[in-house]
Amino acid sequence: MDLTMAEQELIRQGAEARVYKTVTNGRVVVAKQRFSKSYRHPDLDAKLTRGRLNQEARSLKRCKEHGICVPDVIRVDKNSATLFIEFISGPTLKEWILANDSEDQEKKLMATVGRILYNMHSFDIIHGDLTTSNMILDNSNQLVLIDFGLSQISTSIEDKAVDLYVLERAFISTHPNSERLFATVLEAYADSEASHLILRRLEDVRQRGRKRDMSG
């Protein structure tokens, strides 16, 4: 499928891929097309692109297997380095937070985020780019995680703590005075002994982050 055709709607242009809304077999889908990097050796570039493409598809399928709401993988086109996934309609969590004026609803949704992230980490899935723009409230009001382009499978406590830290930084930069929001996420996340180890490591990651900020 030629994703440069006029009927493809460009949704996002990122550093690694172009994301289109399109139609295949009568179904509205998202086509995420990874592009080559001219500064890399062609063989290495092809290997890295193929690896990231396959890893994203694997992570989405693993989430599905464990009941974590993510888009369906429709197909992987290795020739064009394109991942076709289900199109999810609805506001992003970022949009929802900016429009919401109910603290009760806000607290319930943040708790949902925390439980979903703990569930994801308990199956060793690292998202890699957690932000409030990478979560969507679908038509049935379920929270769906999207954009697993930097994901990996890892048992590392450090990797899971860094995943949480990335989300915390996203809250700080996108939603001023949002400390209570992320605190509620962590309260829901901290529901087992395993999570406590991750949250202790999160504090170490924060300390390193603060030192980097201070050193410029």
Determine the Cα angle at 197 with ends 178 and 163, to 5°: 45
This prediction has a pTM of 0.90
List 2, 45, 124, 129, catalytic entry: 129
Strands (DSSP E) contained in the chain are 9-13, 17-24, 27-34, 73-77, 82-86, 125-126, 135-137, 143-145, 152-153
45's tokens: 């570039």
Nearest by Cα to 92 from 54, 127, 136: 136
Q: Determine the pLDDT at residue 5.
A: 45
159 is catalytic: no
Provide the terminal-to-terminal Cα distance of the chain, rounded to the nearest Å. Answer: 46
List where CATH 3.30.200.20 sits in the chain.
Answer: 9-86
pLDDT means over runs of 10, the chain (216 residues): 59 87 91 86 87 96 98 95 96 96 95 97 97 97 96 97 97 91 96 89 93 64
**Which of these CATH numbers, 1.10.510.10, 1.10.240.10, 2.40.280.10, 1.20.120.1200, describes 93-215?**
1.10.510.10
| pLDDT reported for residue 215 | 58
Q: Where in the chain is the domain with CATH 1.10.510.10?
A: 93-215
> What's the CATH number for 9-86?
3.30.200.20
Residue type, 21: K
